Amino acid sequence: MGRSSVEAIDTKEMDYRSLSSSEHEQPPYMHKVGVPPKQNLFDEFKTNVKETLFSDDPLRPFKDQPRSRKFLLGLQAVFPILDWGKSYNVSKFRGDLIAGLTIASLCIPQDIGYSKLANLAPQYGLYSSFVPPLVYALMGSSRDIAIGPVAVVSLLLGSLLSSEIDPTKNPIEYRRLAFTATFFAGITQAALGILRLGFLIDFLSHAAIVGFMGGAAITIALQQLKGFLGIKKFTKKTDIISVMKSVWHSAHHGWNWPTILIGAIFLTFLLFAKYAGKKHKKLFWVPAIAPLISVVLSTFFVYITHAEKLGVEIVRHIEKGINPPSVEEIYFTGNYLLKGIKIGIVSGMIALTEAVAIGRSFASMKDYQLDGNKEMVALGTMNVVGSMTSCYVTTGSFSRSAVNCMSGCQTAVSNIVMSIVVFLTLLFLTPLFEYTPNAILSAIIISAVVGLIDYEATILIWKIDKFDFVACMGAFFGVVFASVEIGLIIAVSISFAKILLQVTRPRTALLGKIPRTNVYRNIQQYPEATQVPGVLIVRVDSAIYFSNSNYMKERILRWLTDEDEQLESNNQPKIQFLIVDMSPVTDIDTSGIHAFEELHSSLQKREVQLVLSNPGRVVVDKLHASDLVNQIGEDKIFLTVSDAVLTCCSKSPKSPEDVV
């Protein structure tokens, strides 16, 4: 006889002896499930509100502090620069200076290109990299985020605004609506931070964001074909089919070959620079300054050859001077007010999601804390101020933030340095961009958005969660084949659908006993786990609410029916006890209580006893508040599944041989 067979017989004999002794001897002491003392309704409400809105306990530093100290701490909470500024030194400034100059060389050509995505004049992109970074440096808590216009938000804003007003026919009204949307984007962001509702942005899942960003990157790149190929008549739609039709129809007479040559040469240079920077970390500065080098060289080439006479489209005039005030241009009344609010909320939420994701990534990398609610207030304030100083929606840029980090930035002063460089550019250097070809701006944008297509993350999403992959692909194809708005709606819809599916159809499991232990686990995860004869053990892996209580009851009864049919076919006794392991059940409402009452009634008709195991504090409190405990019997509620099984087996009329 093999060793495994001997061990199996020994185990069976031990189980037999233990079960026999449980029938003839007094069972071991079992600890009863504790019933928590009644909590004051106001205290319970206060605790729930605190955990929901103030989980990080933001007022802890103010505790037991004198009034003057509280005032100073309050100022530092609103303006973190007053806190870290006390320890600022020359060494930190050296790192911030280099980082600020580096990201300025990257942001200036990008800003001119991104303003075109938003259908605004080039200077508005530069305006948006002057004032908002200054405000963020005073109020932001991230050391690494570089503030300015970004491709996705620029495209989204341009798409939403142009659906309301034609930017070519009504440029003034279009610009006013852009400032209005920026104002309400800032109000939305700041309100979420002040009301501590930042958790709302987490409803847009990571998978949906990956798909949305990838689709937006392809859409942005396709839009650049107009400038890259020198096409004059180009579709205003953003879907891939309309864009490719427009490109194809203009192939014979609409393409400009000098433009294509300029764009192709510098796009190759930009992609090679990006590859070199990625391959060798010490060369991070190469892709950072490559766009500015490209602008300078291409502008000089066009100027000396007068390539504009050959059909090469150039930037031409960029308004000189710093941001003019725009408070009076914001719509606070009229037909465009509601449209501005709607566009502002959508673009503000997307900008906020991108900035918080970037901030958290770099904070985790450098091991410091980032206050999400403070970030929202800072981002919101800078957009409100920006809307009053001729800026459109700005946020944290991933490419610039990465360059900022690798350049050795120490604090948000790098944003101030970048802002000063943009300020000097607006005052003195804008005439130099007059001969900059549009093709080079298209090449810069294409090279910048390539990094938004995260195929590695998509593959990982497929491996981890197929439903997440559906959300990712839904958002991606929605943006590429329909529009940015449709893609965003699909992303949000699928994210909410996943939440609803998980809430309404919680996971449940059949439990069995792990051999030679008193541990009960999912029999699908542990095939060696054996079910106890005459006892069905079920675990519900979710809170039980009105949305899933009926499903939970029907699923358990279906399992019970399946088990009884299988036992009957094998000429074995039916189930006598149903044990529900409630360890993962964090909460239960009146619908859940009612579902258990109905389950208990159905089980009585089948001559099956309902037993509960390890309900938590909140659940026990609600079970006792209802009449369910009296219906089931307090002796049917146990601390562990093991205790419940031992008691059920001792009451079972079957012999120990049958139980084993």
Q: pLDDT, tens digit, for every residue of 300-336?
A: 999 999 999 998 999 988 999 999 999 999 999 988 9
Q: What is the mean pLDDT of residues 171-186?
A: 96
CA-to-CA distance for 385 and 378, rounded, in angstroms? Answer: 11
Give pLDDT, residue 459. Answer: 95
Q: Which CATH superfamily is domain 5-32+506-659 in?
A: STAS domain (3.30.750.24)
Look at residue 487 and tell me whether its pLDDT is greater than 60: yes
Which pLDDT tens digit goes with each residue over 35-65?
767 766 677 767 777 766 666 667 777 777 8
pLDDT in tens, 594-652: 999 999 999 999 999 999 999 998 899 899 888 888 999 988 999 999 999 998 887 66
Residue 572: count of CB within 10 angstroms of its CB: 14
Rounded Cα–Cα distance for residues 425 and 614 (Å): 68
Residue 546 has pLDDT above 80, yes or no: yes
Neighbours of 499 (CB within 10 A): 12
Mean pLDDT of the chain: 87
Predicted pLDDT at 175 = 96
> What local confidence, expressed as pLDDT, does residue 267 receive?
95
Question: Phi/psi class of residue 334: alpha, beta or left (left: φ > 0; alpha: ψ in -120 to 50)?
Answer: left
Confidence check: pLDDT of 13 > 50: no
Q: Is the pLDDT of residue 11 over 60?
A: no
Cα separation of 135 and 393, whole Å?
14
Confidence of residue 74 (pLDDT cuts 50, 70, 90): confident
Going by pLDDT thresholds of 50, 70 and 90, the confidence category of residue 655 is: very low
pLDDT at 9 over 60: no
Q: Where are the alpha helices (DSSP H) in 367-465?
A: 372-387, 398-406, 413-424, 438-449, 455-464
Indicate the range of 196-200, 436-440, 501-505, 531-535 predicted with least confidence: 196-200
- Identify the band that residue 570 occupies on the pLDDT scale cut at 50, 70 and 90: confident
The pLDDT of residue 6 is 37
The one-letter amino acid at 624: H
- Check whether 2 has a pLDDT greater than 60: no
C-alpha atoms less than 13 angstroms from C-alpha of 586 in its C-beta half-sphere: 5
- 533, two tokens: 């004869």
pLDDT at 55 (0 to 100) = 65
CA 127 – CA 422 distance, rounded (Å): 8
Contact 185, 385 (CB under 8 A): no
Asked whether residue 444 carries a pLDDT value surpassing 70, the answer given is yes
What is the β-pairing status of strands 520-522 and 395-397? unpaired
Alpha-carbon distance values, 12 to 7, 81, 572, 623 (Å): 8, 70, 19, 38
What gap in Å lies between CA 153 and CA 182, rounded to an integer?
A: 11
Q: What is the pLDDT averaged over residues 251-273?
A: 92
Tell me what the mean pLDDT of segment 99-122 comes to. Answer: 93
End-to-end distance of the chain based on CA atoms, in angstroms? 21
Class of residue 568 by CB neighbours under 10 A (exposed 0-12, middle 13-18, buried 19+): exposed
Neighbouring C-beta atoms of residue 555, cutoff 10 Å? 16
Mean pLDDT of 4-27: 44
Q: Is the pLDDT of residue 7 over 80?
A: no
What percentage of the chain reaches a pLDDT higher than 70? 92
Question: What CA–CA distance (Å, rounded) separates 173 from 334?
Answer: 12
92 neighbors 98 (Cβ within 8 angstroms): no
Judged against a pLDDT cut of 60, whether residue 23 lies above it is answered with no
Write the burial class of residue 297 (CB in 10 Å: 0-12 exposed, 13-18 middle, 19+ buried). Answer: middle
Contact status, residue 104 vs residue 421, Cβ threshold 8 Å = yes
Instruction: Decide: 209 and 353 in contact? Cβ < 8 Å.
Output: yes
pLDDT-derived band at 199, boundaries 50, 70, 90: confident
Can you give the pLDDT at residue 619? 92
What are the two backbone dihedrals, phi and then psi, of residue 389, each rounded to the nearest 5 degrees?
-130, 40
* Cβ-proximal residues to 179 (8 Å cutoff; 6+ apart), any chain: 326, 329, 330, 387, 388, 390, 392
pLDDT band at 446 (very low <50, low <70, confident <90, very high): very high
Rounded CA-CA distance 67/188 in Å is: 32
Q: Is the pLDDT of residue 388 over 70?
A: yes
Q: Are 576 and 618 spatial neighbours (Cβ–Cβ below 8 Å)?
A: no
Predicted pLDDT at 28: 62
Q: Which residue has the tokens 């079972």?
A: 652
* Residue 71: predicted pLDDT: 86
**Band of the pLDDT at 1, cuts 50, 70, 90?**
very low
Q: What is the reported pLDDT for 292?
A: 92
From CA 179, how far away is CA 393, in angstroms rounded? 8
- pLDDT at 14 (0 to 100): 44
Q: Which two tokens stand for residue 373?
A: 């609610």
Asked if residue 116 lies in contact with residue 441, where contact means CB atoms within 8 angstroms, the answer is: yes
Order of strands, edge to edge, in the sheet holding 637-638?
Answer: 520-522, 508-513, 535-540, 577-581, 609-613, 637-638
Q: What is the pLDDT of residue 445?
A: 94
The stretches of 25-121 forming alpha helices (DSSP H) are 41-53, 67-78, 81-84, 90-117
Token readout for 88 is 């600022």
Can you say how many angstroms the Cα of residue 402 is from the centroid of all Cα atoms in its chain?
19
Is this prediction's pTM over 0.85?
no
3-state helix, strand and coil shares in percent for the chain, rounded to the nearest 5: 65, 5, 30
71-84 burial by CB neighbour count: b if 16+ within 10 A, else e? eeeeebbeebbeeb
What average pLDDT does the segment 372-394 reach?
94
Q: Mean pLDDT, to the nearest integer, of 232-261?
A: 89
Answer whether residue 660 shows pLDDT above 60: no
Given phi > 0 = left and psi -120 to 50 = alpha, else beta, which region is 34?
A: beta
Question: How many Å apart are CA 169 and CA 234, to the nearest integer?
Answer: 16
The pLDDT assigned to 376 comes to 92
Mean pLDDT of 284-295: 91
Determine the length of the chain: 660
The pLDDT of residue 653: 56
CB count, 10 Å around CB of 463? 9
CA pair distance 157, 149, nearest whole angstrom: 11
Answer whether residue 226 shows pLDDT above 60: yes
Segments making up each domain of the chain, as ranges: 5-32+506-659, 97-204+256-454
- Residue 97, C-beta contacts closer than 8 angstroms, at least 6 positions apart: 414, 417
The burial of 519, by beta-carbon neighbours within 10 Å (0-12 exposed, 13-18 middle, 19 or more buried), is given as: middle
Whether the CB-CB separation of 348 and 190 falls below 8 Å is answered with no
Question: What confidence score (pLDDT) does residue 365 get?
Answer: 80
SS3 at position 332: coil
Q: Give the pLDDT score at 428.
A: 92
Q: Cα separation of 408 and 92, whole Å?
A: 9
Asked if pLDDT for residue 20 goes beyond 50, the answer is no
Decide if 498 contacts 471 (C-beta within 8 A): yes
Beta bridge partners of 437: 314
Pairing relation of β-strands 508-513 and 535-540? antiparallel
| pLDDT tens string 26-38 | 456 677 777 767 7
